[in-house]
Amino acid sequence: MPVQALFKPFHLGALELPTRVVMAPMTRSFSPGGVPDSKVIEYYRRRAAAGVGLIITEGTTVGHIASNGYPNVPQFFGDAPLAGWKKVVDAVHAEGGKIVPQLWHVGSVRRIGTEPDASVPAYGPTEKLKDGQVVVHGMTKQDIQEVIAAFAQAAKDAQSMGMDGVEIHGAHGYLVDQFFWEGSNQRTDEYGGSLANRSRFAIELIQAVRAAVGEGFPIIFRFSQWKQQDYTARLVQTSEALGEFLKPLSDAGVDIFHCSTRRFWEPEFDGSDLNLAGWTRKLTGKPTITVGSVGLDGEFLQFMVNTDKVAQPASLENLLERLNKEEFDLVAVGRALLVDPDWALKVREGREQDILPFSREALMTLV
């Protein structure tokens, strides 16, 4: 199967990508004090130089007191972090690539003791107490507006520094996703109850980002059926319900849907071979990004624990067939690109035998 489909340009309004290869957002925790440094700049530059059309940065936290959940992840607020990101943008653009930040709030995943202010509890849709202590602060309507404003400001800052769009992290059991789920969203106001109501936070957030950046600046929205707390979870059970869920998000201003799955080749619903990205494109008419173990023979869950397993490069034939049929528009590559910055170049040149295998050690360094 010829690989040309991966290396055709993609156009959406003012966004012009040289290839269909996208670098998936992957938390790397190499930004002490929240500031991306020279190693981070070089990490992204190398991927752009080797033919990645669009880089989606690792999750980068918005300017809210409880947005962060992990040490050494980058911020997207404050003078020093934004100056660091500006250097990343310039380095990627110099190589002919495009880049968007993934804007992130971890929500109730945060633990007391986490930087930057160890005293701040998690913020989430619903309050949680443990041993009489508030471990998740149930967000008031003012809190909701403050978080929305933080995302809008981050998007504006991204636009000002020359980023090529933004991605809103609405997946994997973090804050935006926590509002979607009945189990984590027990609210009785207009942000709780039906899935339409539980989507209100995301819709208002997207609308605020759109208002902040104006028309024509691409907004990518990443969502998932599964959560990191439950890999078998399903937000919706049918294609009809998926359509009902996606339409308000699409209408609010999403330009591209990033459809997070663990294995891109798995059908989303019975009776069709379409994956989540395929169904989303069909239902919304918007471009989609597929993702999930592209280029590797072992999916990422195996590597969340200490293991000596190694994921070897895998055939792209199924992926290329689907891309040629226009089931989806763009292909996000995660671990294969994390371990081998030249992955796209090697695929393009037919040097699959030279692609590096992925092992857990790759997570320990930036290359």
How far apart (Å, rounded) are the C-alpha atoms in residues 110 and 143? 16
Mean pLDDT of each 10-residue bin along the chain, 367 residues long: 91 96 97 97 98 98 98 98 98 98 98 94 97 95 98 98 98 97 96 98 98 98 86 90 98 98 94 98 98 79 58 89 97 95 97 90 90
pLDDT of residue 298: 63
Determine phi and psi for 220, rounding to 5 degrees.
Answer: -100, 140
pLDDT of amino acid 299: 53
Range of the domain at 287: 4-364
CATH of the domain at 96: 3.20.20.70
- Fill in the DSSP letter of residue 113: T
Domain count, the chain: 1
Active-site annotation holds for 174: yes
Instruction: Give, in order, the Cα–Cα distances in Å from 367 to each of 18, 263, 342.
Output: 23, 25, 10
Whole-Å CA distances, 81 to 33, 88, 171: 9, 11, 24
Q: For residues 190 and 163, what is the distance between their CA atoms, to the nearest angstrom?
A: 34
Annotated catalytic residue within 43, 44, 123, 174: 174
Query: Looking only at Cα atoms, what is the longest distance across the chain?
Result: 61
The pLDDT assigned to 306 comes to: 57
Q: What is the CA radius of gyration of the chain?
A: 19
Q: What are phi and psi of 14, to 5 degrees?
A: -80, -10
